[in-house]
Amino acid sequence: MATDPLTPDLNILIVEDEPAHAEAIRRACAVGRTRIAGSLAEYRRACAEEAPDVVLLDLNLPDGLALQELTEPAEDGPWPILVMTAHGDEQLAVAAMKAGALDYLVKSPESFAAMPQTLERALREWRLRREHRQVAEALHVSEKRYQNLYHQFRTVFEGVADPLLLLSKDFFVEWANPAATRTFGGGRADLGGALCHELFKECASACRPCIFQKSFETGGIHEVFHYSPDGRRWNIRALPIAEGSGEIRQALLICHDISEKMRAQADAIRGSQLAALGELAAGVAHEINNPINGIINYAQLLVNRLADTQNQDLANRIIHEGNRIAGIVGGLLSFARPQQENRHPIHLAEALNDCLALAGAQLRRDGIAPRLDLPADLPPVNALKYQLQQVFLNLISNARYALNEKYPGTHPDKQLDISATALTIDGQRRVRLAFRDSGTGIPAEILERVHSPFFTTKPPGKGTGLGLSISCGIIENHRGTLSIASVAGEYTTVVVELPAVAGGA
């Protein structure tokens, strides 16, 4: 069959029982190869011998009507068919077109003269219809495939045990699987339209830092560890979803409950810590407490017996320093003794000073003199004191390591600054504690990973990679945040924020 209209090899089949009409039509075609059939039977034989490119079919033939050879719609037939008649009849024309004729022609000098244009138009329309049908069929196949993929994806999405949430760029939940609805829905049947920070933090403003926002800004995958209001620990990853244009309009949040894993790790670490500290504390208590108590008691006797002010002052200093040593021992013991998990208001300055007393000897040996800016009117926070002390000691230890790496000896820039401020965020009073050291800093490419369990910037044998991860968990469990800002080679600042006790001064 010819592929282009009006070419010399165009195969035209004329089905006409009047020889004079057939010859007139043949001459009118003017192009291509023409064959003539005088009946429907001859038409069928001619088509069986060689498929035509186009058929000019008389409406009334000796052995039947042309309508019975038509296929509706026209493009579903094997070739285009133009129906001809000697007399114009609107009803017949409509019937022919409905039955599948590509065109309806009335035999006349005018229609014969325009036959080449008619054939060209008919073949062009036929080709367009066939192409449209192919496109429609391909689209149908594609839609069917898409529907299957959609149902498969939805089955997988809804069957995943971890909570999954699809978020829009403005933090609204567009889709959530049943696990997410059960976990974060609070009894709601559908999370659609909810704000993600309302679900995760139960607050009106975006989380700080927001991994979801970072994914939109960088196009990369970001993760964070988070405590939900029910106390569970989550590893949350944000995966940006780009459209065909490359623009990111959505992100998928994958939430994995790591509570049991972290609890087991923390218990193991805590157990080893308690074992080591308990052994040390027992020795300290035996070797130091009794002599110190004796020194304090003898000094008190001197105070009672000495009359002059100068000697009394010396004795009081002995008592003061003895009590300080006893306080250090007591602080060390508090880390080893199991404590009842009841939170109560504590002053951060007091907890921090206890930690500095414990770490003081090491800091002085390394030439580090912490500079403190702790206002006396800081409001208290509701906390487990020993847990916050664990966090503070870890942060002080990390700062000490970074400073010693940069300045192995004494140096005027070898500084550790610890400051605290009270502030109000979203109507809630909070206390912010900042630890800033001028040490080695953290490279930008690994800054987001330092919270991860078992990740450490220290060489083998120098760190487990668990201290900061556990510290983050402790602070989050106290409804607080721990964030890090750092420039490699210059500084590191760790900021701890905790909610203040309501009405605390």
The enclosing domain of 504 has a CATH number of 3.30.565.10
Give, for all 505 residues of the chain, the pLDDT tens digit.
444 556 777 888 888 888 888 888 888 887 778 888 888 888 889 889 998 888 888 888 888 888 877 777 767 778 888 888 877 677 777 777 877 787 888 888 888 888 888 888 888 888 888 888 888 888 989 899 988 888 888 888 778 888 888 888 877 888 888 888 887 777 777 777 777 777 776 665 666 667 777 777 787 888 877 777 666 788 888 888 887 777 788 888 888 888 788 767 766 766 666 566 666 666 666 677 778 777 878 788 887 877 667 777 777 878 777 776 776 666 556 555 555 567 889 999 988 988 888 888 888 999 998 999 999 889 999 988 878 888 898 899 889 998 999 998 889 899 999 999 999 888 889 999 999 999 988 888 777 766 655 445 555 445 444 567 778 888 888 889 988 898 988 999 999 999 998 765 5
Query: What SS3 class is residue 263?
Result: helix
Cα–Cα distances in angstroms (integers) from residue 466 to residues 266, 357, 384, 450, in the given order = 9, 24, 20, 9
Q: Are 127 and 102 in contact (CB under 8 A)?
A: no
Domain count, the chain: 4
480 and 363 in one domain?
yes
- 16 and 121 belong to one structural domain: yes
- Quote the CA–CA distance of 243 and 250 in Å, as a whole number: 9
Same domain, 294 and 309: yes
> And the tokens for 408?
């192995």
Quick check: is 140 in a domain?
no
Q: Are residues 310 and 324 in the same domain?
A: yes
> In angstroms, what is the C-alpha Rg of the chain?
44
409 lies in the same domain as 454 = yes
For 432, the domain range is 343-505
What is the rounded distance in angstroms from the CA atom of residue 82 to the CA atom of residue 96?
9
Q: What angle do CA 469, 470, 472 make, to 5 degrees?
A: 65
